[in-house]
């Protein structure tokens, strides 16, 4: 590489300048506090609509109410992912221009409601970006198990939908909060300090980690109870344990599963096109433009479609996949 490239952000196997010039990079990485605030407001607005739809469903005949309730419940699981993607954007410091917006506001309004942390996720996630497909990529357990036989994938989907995967995840979160397992977005390993900690340090760590999540969830319950529909909070928890698990699995499959096990980003990450249903569930906030996100991680989510179109027109990235194509690739076993 020439000397002009030495200070450019580096992609695994490439420099950003292999894809964008300075003016283009400035254009595609421009951030906006107003758009960041709108993203948070719109996600919580859609969560409110889900609750309203499920409440309305209870007043309708069963043949009309049941489909509406189930639709609201599934989309509510997708809104859990939308909150996670807001946190993901803040971890990359692209949701807001301000540090406070990314590190504080988003932590309280997006990460804590789903038992997460912008700071912890950032430390974890940046390792994934710089080491995608490496053995120590913390996200590798989410995508490395594929392909699997169709029956195996169907059983995974069933475990997701009946809450088995969600229950295991919640147990893992409990152990991570208590300092027994290391924090991870996939499968936590035993914490290196677990044998040297005194017994009372575990509940202290747990309370320190979880109090914010408890506070915002109590506030959510009280807000629902004030409308006379406090029981909808149970739907919030169940959506986290059921459709959310399936949605996260499909999202992880689409991002990296069954691609080349090589360091080059252009070969180990994919973009997947999503329609309205996809955007309400597995692909909120343009997270499906994942190749472009890995290539230029400083791009705010709302500029990713334009970045994809720009790079596609220049022949620098391939066309996106479909989710059907992803599932087919993840269930095709080469003998």
Q: pLDDT digits over 260-270, tens only? A: 999 899 999 99
CA 118 to chain centre: 12
CA 29 to chain centre: 20
For residue 120, being part of any structural domain is answered with yes
Q: Between helices 232-241 and 243-256, what is the axis angle to 10°?
A: 40
Q: Please give the backbone phi and psi of residue 181, each rounded to the nearest 5 degrees, phi first.
A: -110, 150
Write down the pLDDT at residue 12. Answer: 58
For residue 314, being part of any structural domain is answered with yes
Domain interval for residue 242: 31-330
Write down the pLDDT at residue 3. Answer: 38
For residue 2, being part of any structural domain is answered with no
How many independent structural domains does the chain possess? 1
List the end-to-end C-alpha distance of the chain, in Å, as a whole number.
41
> Is 244 in contact with 81 (CB distance < 8 Å)?
yes
For residue 209, being part of any structural domain is answered with yes
- Mean pLDDT in the chain? 92
For residue 244, being part of any structural domain is answered with yes
Q: pTM of the entire structure?
A: 0.93
For residue 14, being part of any structural domain is answered with no
Write down the pLDDT at residue 8. Answer: 53
Write down the pLDDT at residue 4. Answer: 42
Whole-number Cα distances in Å, 10 to 7, 22, 83, 121, 329: 9, 14, 28, 21, 29
Write down the pLDDT at residue 227. Answer: 95
For residue 112, being part of any structural domain is answered with yes
For residue 20, being part of any structural domain is answered with no
User: Which residues of the chain, if any, have pLDDT below 50?
Assistant: 1-7, 335
Write down the pLDDT at residue 195. Answer: 85
């Amino acid at each position: 590489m020439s000397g002009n490239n030495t200070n450019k952000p580096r992609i695994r196997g490439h420099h950003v300048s292999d894809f964008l010039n300075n003016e283009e990079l400035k254009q595609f990485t421009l951030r906006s506090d107003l758009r960041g605030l709108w993203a948070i407001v719109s996600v919580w607005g859609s969560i409110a609509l889900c609750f309203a739809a499920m409440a309305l469903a209870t007043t309708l005949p069963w043949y009309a109410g049941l489909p509406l309730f189930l639709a609201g419940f599934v989309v509510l699981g997708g809104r859990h992912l939308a909150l996670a993607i807001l946190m993901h954007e803040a971890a990359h410091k692209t949701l807001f221009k301000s540090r406070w917006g990314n590190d504080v506001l988003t932590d309280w309004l997006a990460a804590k409601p789903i038992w997460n942390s912008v700071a912890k996720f950032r430390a974890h996630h940046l390792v994934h970006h710089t080491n995608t497909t490496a053995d120590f990529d913390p996200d590798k357990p989410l995508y490395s198990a594929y392909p699997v036989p169709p029956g195996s994938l169907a059983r995974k989907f069933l475990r997701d939908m009946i809450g088995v995967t969600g229950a295991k995840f919640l147990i893992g979160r409990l152990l991570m909060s208590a300092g027994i397992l290391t924090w991870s977005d996939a499968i936590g390993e035993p914490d290196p300090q677990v044998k040297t900690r005194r017994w009372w340090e575990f509940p202290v760590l747990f309370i320190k980690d979880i109090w914010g999540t408890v506070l915002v969830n109590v506030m959510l319950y009280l807000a629902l109870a004030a409308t006379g529909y406090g029981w909808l909070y149970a739907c919030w928890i169940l959506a986290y344990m059921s459709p959310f698990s399936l949605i996260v699995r499909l999202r992880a499959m689409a991002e990296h599963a069954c691609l080349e096990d090589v360091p080059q980003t252009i070969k180990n990450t994919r973009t997947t096109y999503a329609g309205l249903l996809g955007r309400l569930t597995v692909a909120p906030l343009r997270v499906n433009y994942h190749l472009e996100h890995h290539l230029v991680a400083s791009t705010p989510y709302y500029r990713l479609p334009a970045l994809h179109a720009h790079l596609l027109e220049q022949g620098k990235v391939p066309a996106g996949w479909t989710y059907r194509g992803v599932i087919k690739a993840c269930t095709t076993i080469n003998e």
